[in-house]
A = this chain, B = another copy of it.
Amino acid sequence: MNIDSINNGIVIDHIQAGKAMEIYNYLGLEDLDCSVAIIKNVRSKKSGKKDIIKIDNDIDVDMDVLGYIDTNITANIIKDGIIIEKKHMELPERIVNIIKCNNPRCITSVERELDQVFNLTDKENKVYRCKYCEMQAKK
């Protein structure tokens, strides 16, 4: 199963099979008015199976979210039917308002207007810690 090309928009490719919905929710794609396709369990030469998301509009996608979820993801930016940019993901050094600190004694639990900021403290093991209380983020 495949989807025909889009003219202007973004193709988020090489998503680990089963993760498309997580990305869909993180990126808030539910709220978009444009056409969005989520294709799960597409056969892939590289990884056996993968998910793909196509967004038929030129929106800003938070690449930090994608990098945080999976660095194997690629994002193709399409303009006038042509791929004008292929973005590869990396682990972001800092993520803002993507995940929440679970520590009930963290200041972010009390001061709700604070941004939820996590810093990458161990790249190899993909460890993020809350900027305020240093609690390790749970994946």
Contacts and interface: CB of A to CB of B under 8 A. Distances in A.
Nearest to A21: B30
Interface residues of A, number: 21
Contacts of A39: 3, 35-38
A34 interface: yes
B30 A35 contact: no
A25 to B, nearest CB: 10
Interface stretch (A40-48, A60-68, A85-93, A112-120): A40-48
Contacts of A3: 1-4, 37, 39
A111 interface: no
Interface of A: 1-4, 6, 21, 30, 32-43, 54, 56
- 10 shortest A-B CB distances, which residue pairs? A1-B35, A37-B39, A38-B38, A36-B40, A35-B41, A1-B56, A3-B3, A2-B4, A1-B6, A1-B37
